């Protein structure tokens, strides 16, 4: 099973390198205070990582909220 996972990982890695090579053209990117030219693959990677960070942050907030509710419920059950 571990070998299948490694083969799958390397296939995804090769696919990512091919996509990065195919999207190597420079694009003009304007952001709040500045502008720059970046390769499209780098810009896509940055946007993807920003999305992952935002999703992780929102997931963490939900998990902490649920843990607080669980702690409150278990402490109420111990008291009664």
Q: DSSP alpha helices (H): ranges in the chain?
A: 2-22, 40-79
Give the H or E element holding residue 1: none
Question: pLDDT tens digit string along 13-68?
Answer: 899 888 888 888 999 999 888 999 999 888 888 899 999 999 999 999 999 999 99
| Backbone torsions φ then ψ of 39, nearest 5 degrees | -65, 140
pLDDT of residue 22: 86
| Structural domain boundaries in the chain | 2-79
Query: Is the model's pTM score more than 0.85?
Result: no
Per-residue pLDDT band at 80 (split at 50, 70, 90): low
Cα-Cα end-to-end distance for the chain: 49
Could you tell me which residues are beta bridge partners of residue 30? 35
pLDDT over threshold 90, residue 75: no
In degrees, rounded to 5, the angle at the alpha carbon of residue 24 between the alpha carbons of residues 19 and 28 is 125
Summarize pLDDT for 52-66 with one digit per residue, the tens.
Answer: 999 999 999 999 999
């Amino acid at each position: 099973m571990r070998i299948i996972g490694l083969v799958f990982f390397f296939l995804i890695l090769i696919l990512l390198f091919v996509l990065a090579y195919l999207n190597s053209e420079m694009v003009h990117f304007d952001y709040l205070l500045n502008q720059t030219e970046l390769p499209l693959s780098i810009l896509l990677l940055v946007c993807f990582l920003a999305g992952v960070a935002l999703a992780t942050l929102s997931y963490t907030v939900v998990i902490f909220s649920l843990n607080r509710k669980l702690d409150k419920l278990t402490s109420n059950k111990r008291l009664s």
